[in-house]
Amino acid sequence: MSAPTAPNSAWDIDPYTFSGGVYYVPAGIELQPRLPGWGHPGLSGLRERVASDRPHGVSGQKLLCLLCMRLRADEGLPPAPVWMTFVDGPHAPVFRHEDGRSPHAEHTPESDIHKALKDREAATWTAAGATDVRVEAWRPRAKRRPDVLAVGARLTVAGEIQHTTLTPSAVNRRQNALAATGDRVVWTTDRDSADVAFLRQVPHLAVPALDDYRLYRQDRTPQLNVISGWTAFESQRCGWSDIWHGGSTRCPVTGRLQPCGRRHLYPTLNPHAYRPDPGARFPCGSSPDLDHLLEGILTDGWRPYQVGGQRTTWIPTAVYDDVVAERGGSVEAAERPRPPVTTQSGGTRVCEQRATTRSAADLGYLTERFRQGQPLGIAPPTTLLETLPAPAAAPEDSARRVRLVIPGMHAVTGATLELAADNMAVFVEAVRERARIEGDTRGYTPHVGEPRRDANTDADGRFGWTLSVNGRDQAILMPGIELAQLRGTGLAAPCLIVNGSAWWWNDAAGMAVPIPGRTT
C-alpha cells in the first residue's frame, strides 16, 4: 500500500495485518474491545490510559478504525484515515467514529450476559461435534464478524447474540450479509417474547431474561428453556384450530371452511408434541432447550421457516417437507428476509366498517385483543342468522334485519350454584396444567391460587369466581350445569366467561393463564 501524504503518517498501515479492531497510535497496538483486557490482558490500566489520553478524533489522531480501513481496501478505494473517539461510561464504553457514523458492533464492549451466551454457544457446538468453532471470526464475503462460527458436517452456522435492541433493518442487513456467505444464521436473545419484535423476521431463539448472567452458563443451568422462536406440530384432522392463522379452521391446503377430510400438521403450543432425536448430545427436557436446539440447527435437525412473510420460526426437519408442501415457503425465504413493508394508509378494512354497525355486546369476543404471549384460544366462530320481520313503525325499512346470535352465549337455564362449584374445581385443575405447560415453555415458575367466590358478578345462570394466576386476578363466570354438557363439542355447549370474553372450556383454560411480565 502506497503512503499518501498526510500531517501524521502513523496511520499509514496495512489493515489486513490486523483483526479489524481499533489502532491506538501512541502505543502502536491494536485494541479489540470484545476481548479480555481489550486483547492485552497484561497491560494494566489500559482503559484508563486511553480514556485520559485526550484529545481524540481528528484533532488528536490517536485512535484509528482498522475495520473501516479494511472495508475501504476491499472496495478498492484509496487508503484514508478514519479517526475515532473513545466515550467512557459506567455502563456502555464505546469507540465512536469522529465523522458521526454509527459504531461497529465489534467495537462495542460486550456485556456479561452477551459474553455468557456467546461462550455457551461455542461450548455447545464444540460438544455437539463441530469440526471448527471460532469466536469473532472475520467473514470476508459478509464483511462481518459473527459472535460464534461453527463448522459442522452438513452446515456452517453463524451465531449472533443480541442483548440490546436493534432496528429491524439493521438486523436484516446483518442477516442477509451472513446468509450470502452460505452460513445458516441463528440469533439468540435474552429478551422475552413480548420484547423481541425486532428479531421476528430472522431465525431466532429467545431465552428467559435472568437477573444473574452466571445463570446462562451450562454448569449453572444445564437446560435453559427457549421461550419463543421454535414451533412444534400436531397431526390433526382437517378443521383443527390453526394458531398461525388467528385460530381459523380453514383447510391449510384448500383455504376453504369445508374440511377436506385429511389429516394435516398444525402448529401447537404443546411442547410435548415434539419428539426429539434420542441420539442427540443434548436431549431436550420438558420442552426444547437452548443447547438441544443449537445442536439440532448445526446437524440440520431444525430448519428456519417463514410464516406469512412477517415471522420466522425454527421447525423440526422431520416435518419440514410436509409443512412446505401444505403451506409453501422455503429455507431461502426464511434466511434472506426483506425489510418490513410499512404503509401510510389511514383507511379501514371493509370488515371493520361493517363491524361498527353491529352491537358491541354481540361482537365483544371479536374485538377482544389477544394478550401478548398468551396462548391463542378460539372464541365461538360460528354464528346463526336469525331473521326477524321489520318493525311496523319503520315502513321505510322494507328490508329484513339480521341479528347476530352467538352459540354458547345464551343464558343457561336450570343452572345451580352447586354444579357451578363442582365445575370450577375441575376448571382450576385444567388451569394449573395449562400454567405448568406455559411455565415449562417460557422458563418461569407458575402460580395458581384458590378460587374466591364473587356473587356480585352472577348473571344468566353463570356464577362468578376470581382466580389468581401468575399474580393477576382472572374473573371467571362458570355455568351451573352438568360438566359433561359444559365440556361438549357441539355449538350449543355453554361458554365460560373469562375476563369478559366468551370461550369454550378448553380455550377458556388457556385464556385464564396470563404470561408474567419481564422482570429485568
pLDDT tens digits, one per residue of 259-286: 999 999 999 977 778 888 888 999 887 7
Residue 276: is the preceding peptide bond cis (ω within 30°)?
Answer: no
Which tops the pLDDT comparison, 354 or 129?
Answer: 129
Distance of alpha carbon 78 from alpha carbon 270, whole angstroms: 58
Is residue 5 over pLDDT 50?
A: no
> What are the cell numbers at 90?
459506567
pLDDT (tens digit per residue) in 13-69: 888 888 888 999 999 999 988 777 888 988 988 988 998 998 998 888 999 998 888
pLDDT (tens digit per residue) in 288-335: 899 999 999 999 999 999 998 778 999 999 999 999 999 998 899 899
> What are the cell numbers at 76?
478498492
Q: Which amino acid is at 133?
A: V
> What are the cell numbers at 57?
478524533
Q: Which amino acid is at 377?
A: G
Is residue 403 over pLDDT 60?
A: no
Is residue 345 over pLDDT 70?
A: no
Handedness of CA 473, 474, 479, 484 (dihedral sign): negative
Q: Which amino acid is at 284?
A: C
Cα distances (angstroms) measured from residue 166 to each of 66, 157, 173, 265, 505: 24, 21, 11, 34, 41
Mutual orientation of helices 290-298 and 112-127 as an angle, nearest 10°? Answer: 50
Is residue 406 over pLDDT 70?
A: no
Mean of pLDDT values over 154-171:
88
Is residue 357 over pLDDT 60?
A: no
Which tops the pLDDT comparison, 509 or 409?
Answer: 509
Distance of alpha carbon 3 from alpha carbon 263, whole angstroms: 70
pLDDT band at 92 (very low <50, low <70, confident <90, very high): low
User: DSSP secondary structure string, 227-283?
Assistant: -BSB-EEEEEETT--BGGGTTB-S-TTT--SS--SSEEEEEES-GGG----TT-SS-
Which tops the pLDDT comparison, 405 or 119?
Answer: 119
pLDDT (tens digit per residue) in 224-253: 989 889 999 999 999 998 989 888 899 999
pLDDT value at residue 308: 82
> What are the cell numbers at 70?
479494511
Is residue 509 over pLDDT 50?
A: yes
Please, what is the average pLDDT of the chain? 80
pLDDT value at residue 71: 84
Segments making up each domain of the chain, as ranges: 9-107, 112-335, 383-389+399-511
